[in-house]
Amino acid sequence: MSIWEYANPVKFMRTSGAVLPWAVAGAAICTVAGLVWGFLTPLDYKQGATVKIIFLHVPAALMAINIWLMMLVTSLIWLIRRHHVSALAAKAAAPVGAVMTLIALITGAIWGQPMWGTWWEWDPRLTSFLILFLFYLGYMALWEAVENPDSAADLTSVLCLVGSVFALLSRYAVNFWNQGLHQGASLSLAPGERMAAVYRYPLYLTMAGFFLLFVALLLIRTRTEIRRRRLAALLAREMRK
């Protein structure tokens, strides 16, 4: 039994169907519990109530990056091992990633307004998220534009590879360009920089919630894609007759 057996569509449908309810339930419980808990935390001495947007902002930002990484991995699996489900999973993940990036950008703007006095600041972190959003848009547009699914899977995978390199490059180029106002990493491991435990634990919970939410959405969307491909395959076979 190897992990690659899950690349078989039939096997994937069966397993994902069994996992899906648990992912949905886990996502709902963790997200709701984390957000409620986050809402009940005390006010920050410096940032007041605005700090609470962190429970949306940080998990969304985290997922925005990790979803792109997941797409990179699945694209590589498609290019190297030609597992069709892998390519479809990358396709299914992209819109979720784009929405996560958008959430991170919007909550960032809302948070930035009282903190920095402006809705938008060309801060390196915000800017690189904007660039990441552009990469997501290009990736999704390419999937939509190419009619032949085999070509589309190959082209988007190559784009994802090249895009990953340039997204990373942009991230550091932007640093060079503007030093920025954004606070450091929220979950730094260095002592003294860590945020207080009252905020940290609900944050962990919302992160887990967002992760499970992504898993649930990914499974739903991949299953839809597989069914769509199946339909297209049946139609193609009918037309060939």
Q: Which residues of this protein are in contact with other proteins, per CB under 8 A?
A: 9, 82, 84, 131, 134-135, 137-138, 141-142, 145-146, 148-151, 153-155, 158-159, 161-163, 166-167, 169-170, 173-174, 176-177, 226, 229-230, 232-234, 236-237, 240
- Residue 49 is given by DSSP the state G
CA distance 140 to 199: 35
48 forms beta bridges with: 44
Residue closer to other proteins, measured from CB, 23 or 85: 85
Residue-level length of the chain: 241
Closest CB to other proteins among residues 99, 173: 173
Nearer to other proteins, 150 or 193 (CB): 150
C-alpha–C-alpha distance, residues 72 and 200, integer Å: 29
Within the chain, how many helices (H) and strands (E) appear? 6, 0
Tell me whether residue 136 or residue 210 sits nearer to other proteins (CB atom): 136
Q: How far is the CB of 233 from other proteins (least distance, A)?
A: 4
Smallest separation (angstroms) from other proteins to the CB of 38? 33
Least distance between other proteins and beta carbon 60 (Å)? 20
Considering only CA atoms, which of 219, 208, 218 is closest in space to residue 62?
Answer: 208
- Residue 111 CB, shortest distance to other proteins, in Å, is 24
Decide: residue 186, CB within 10 A, 0-12 exposed, 13-18 middle, 19+ buried. Answer: middle
